[in-house]
Amino acid sequence: RRLASLLSIATSFGVVLLVPDSRGTTWDAIRGGYGPDVEFINRALDQTFARCAVDQRKLAIGGFSDGATYALSLGLDNGSLFTHVMAFSPGFIAARRPSGKPRIFISHGRSDTILPIDVTSRRIVPELEDAGYAVTYKEFDGPHAVPEQVAADAFKWFAR
């Protein structure tokens, strides 16, 4: 729901948003392996590709909180499909078999009490950089959220 609220920002950059929800209370890889969520996303992508003019040479996956963790994990495991990953306040990476080298945008609030920045993004970002990923990292003064300006920065980063 939080990412769907960013539709007007995405539209201003010519970005088509597909905003699926998890099949359970959170994304399947958060609690184990990939399963029904990946199947659902695959079907949704097929439908989107059939209905919209999608440049598959520039395809991003993104999310907020658990969705950011999922986007990072699925994006790294499918880096030959997703060229970009946008993770707003991720908790960890559950990637199992990374492929390709998608560009990565990560943001996190310095006052996040849900997923504290010191044990999440401030650890994730250096690990990704050490693994050779191009990472754009934005910290902001604020809580567990996606501020409009940070979202605009992410879409601008993706659209360039």
Over residues 68-110, the pLDDT tens digits come to 999 999 999 999 999 999 999 999 998 778 899 999 999 999 9
Paired strand residues for 156:
none
Which position has the higher pLDDT, 109 or 29? 109
**CA nearest to 136, candidates 155, 117, 157:** 157
* Runs of H (alpha helix) within 80-147: 121-130
Residue 3: pLDDT band with limits 50, 70, 90 = low
**Alpha carbon distance 86, 105 (integer Å):** 5
Strand order, beta sheet including 60-64: 60-64, 84-88, 103-109, 135-140
Which position has the higher pLDDT, 3 or 133? 133
Mean pLDDT on 3-7: 67
Task: Check residue 81 and give its pLDDT.
Answer: 92
**Alpha carbon distance 50, 64 (integer Å):** 26
The phi and psi torsions of 44 (rounded to 5 degrees) equal: -65, -40
Mean pLDDT on 146-155: 93
| pLDDT at position 139 over 80 | yes
Two tokens, residue 63: 């999310």
The lowest-confidence range among 34-43, 108-117, 134-143 is: 34-43
Compute the mean pLDDT over every residue in the chain, rounded to the nearest whole number: 91
**Alpha carbon distance 41, 152 (integer Å):** 24
| pLDDT at position 112 over 90 | yes
Task: Check residue 107 and give its pLDDT.
Answer: 98
The phi and psi torsions of 85 (rounded to 5 degrees) equal: -130, 130
| pLDDT at position 31 over 90 | no
Amino acid at 46: D
Two tokens, residue 98: 């990374």
Task: Check residue 40 and give its pLDDT.
Answer: 93
Q: The whole model's pTM is what?
A: 0.91
CB atoms within 10 A of CB 111: 12
**Alpha carbon distance 154, 135 (integer Å):** 12
Mean pLDDT on 112-140: 98
Q: Are 66 and 134 in contact (CB under 8 A)?
A: no
The phi and psi torsions of 10 (rounded to 5 degrees) equal: -60, -45
